[in-house]
Chains A and B, each alone.
Chain A
């Protein structure tokens, strides 16, 4: 049984079918990529899986449990955590605090605990604080932990978002175009982080239109075009697939982006 099982997932907006009956299985431990030209329906696909948008039809099962139509925070609580194409940092917070928010699900305590600060709560806060710094070290941001998050350069903002998502201890991490807008150097840093966290046991599903990056790091790739899945296979299979080549030749700039 795959960790994520998507069946006949469909989204129709007024007159437009953004996702047309997509089936997808993401096995545990896999680094899975969904690629496709701009407007192929990748983000819609992600939004449905992560609960940001209800599907018109179809089902999504995570670890054997149906999660179709659940609220975002419930889905996150089940271990399915996402990042965003447009970075969603918490701008008023420091870099370290951003990651500390990521530990929300892994910790407990509300108003009463925050006021009374019993020993377990103090330990937990200290623990969160230390582990946030560990995670920042993992993505290479330890040096800027106390800066305001909004002052980070763009590439580091993306890394911070990944670190924050990792704090939530995802079983499946959804990365929405993590390399968008990054230069070659930043992309390499990010690719390394993603591969490393995958090696440590986190299943990854990423959306990308940077073919070069995806074929380098992904174990398995699915290709969307005009809302339909047109191919799925290993990177080598995908690179040779005639439909994929056709789809990408039609949008050359996307392939080079």
Chain B
């Protein structure tokens, strides 16, 4: 699983470091529960399928956000901008230019990646409130552009008629097939995340998150690694945006608005910032929570906001710290210090 496991000379590590946190077995139990839940949803079908589909999509976004927030310890409140690029990119490329969905997704990803480099290179020199506000501004700019540039985005009304995912003549239209497809993508995203985390690259990111002076003194090029993490997060966000467009078939500026920021942070907090699986677990748990209280629409956003506030005020280390479900490995990000 990790490079460490391959050297048998080392003493046995407790749990599976990084993947779930120190209490790996409790986490494993949680994963089994989620698998069971998955099976239940799969058999039962109906509305819960849609909920799970969205959970997978948000999961992809959160796994990416975790690169920047969790591993590298930097704050970004504007990753929704890149999800919007992915979503609108896919929609426009498919509908206007007739690109196949997979190609559209990849092209949108490339656009988001380039945008992240262009925007991140100057922005990431900022710290603390300035970095927070600058990234927040990115999200707002993208929102305004997606509302205003009607000829491209169809404005407030949103973009409908986006074809489902598919390769060649095969289209994924069945709701269960969609869910499986999304799950495979999320698992792939997790695999990438875990593989990068436990490597020279990931160690450099995690070093930066707890001590920038320490990292710099060992020769780590901090600006480069921060930018790399930012771009990776943007790529994941873009994929999430594209997936949303193809799976739901409709996007509007609201989809990528402020609630996306709050919802995804709630998920990260619930699952455990800085662990490999935490973001995905958080996405699933936090997606199902509003279903349990049977709330929809506006109430759902309110529920998320309240849940996040509750977590921030009463469980600052994340819900995972309370339940033992994957303790955050990296210290809490302190972008201002």
Contact = CB atoms under 8 A, between A and B. Distances in A.
A89 B216 contact: no
B323 interface: no
Interface in A101-130: 101-105, 107-111, 113-115, 117, 122, 124-126, 128-130
B219 interface: yes
Interface string A136-173: 00000000011010100000000000001101100000
B200 A126 contact: no
Most interface-central of A124, A125, A148, A165 (chain B CB within 10 A) = A125
Given A126-B3, A145-B11, 12 more contacts: A52-B213, A90-B214, A91-B331, A92-B209, A92-B328, A105-B219, A109-B199, A111-B228, A115-B196, A126-B7, A145-B10, A168-B219
A124 B210 CA distance: 25
Interface in B1-49: 3-4, 6-7, 9-11, 13-14, 17, 22
Interface of A: 50, 52, 71-73, 76-77, 81-84, 88-94, 96-97, 100-105, 107-111, 113-115, 117, 122, 124-126, 128-130, 133, 145-146, 148, 150, 164-165, 167-168
Contacts of B9: 130, 133
Contacts of B228: 110-111
Contact of B206 (A90, A102, A117): A90
Given A73-B219, A111-B232, A115-B192, A93 B213 contact: no
Interface of B: 3-4, 6-7, 9-11, 13-14, 17, 22, 192, 195-196, 199-204, 206-207, 209-211, 213-222, 228, 232, 274, 328-331
B219 A90 contact: no
B313 to A, nearest CB: 23
Nearest to B12: A146
Contacts of A104: 200, 203-204, 218-220
Most interface-central of A84, A94, A104 (chain B CB within 10 A) = A104
Contacts of B232: 111
Given A115-B195, A122-B6, A89 B217 contact: no
A25 to B, nearest CB: 23
Contacts of A150: 331
Nearest to A126: B7
Contacts of B209: 90, 92
Given A91-B331, A92-B210, A164 B218 contact: yes
Contacts of A82: 217
Nearest 10 A-B pairs (CB), nearest first? Answer: A88-B214, A114-B199, A76-B219, A92-B330, A72-B216, A125-B3, A105-B219, A88-B211, A91-B210, A101-B207
Contacts of A83: 217
Nearest to B17: A94
B201 A111 contact: yes
Contacts of A96: 10
Contacts of B203: 93, 97, 100-101, 104
Contacts of A89: 210-211, 214
Given A88-B214, A104-B218, A110 B7 contact: no
Contacts of A93: 203, 206-207, 210, 329
Contacts of B274: 92
Contacts of A97: 203, 206
17 contacts: A90-B206, A90-B207, A90-B209, A92-B329, A92-B330, A92-B331, A96-B10, A104-B219, A104-B220, A110-B228, A122-B3, A125-B3, A129-B7, A130-B7, A133-B10, A145-B10, A146-B14
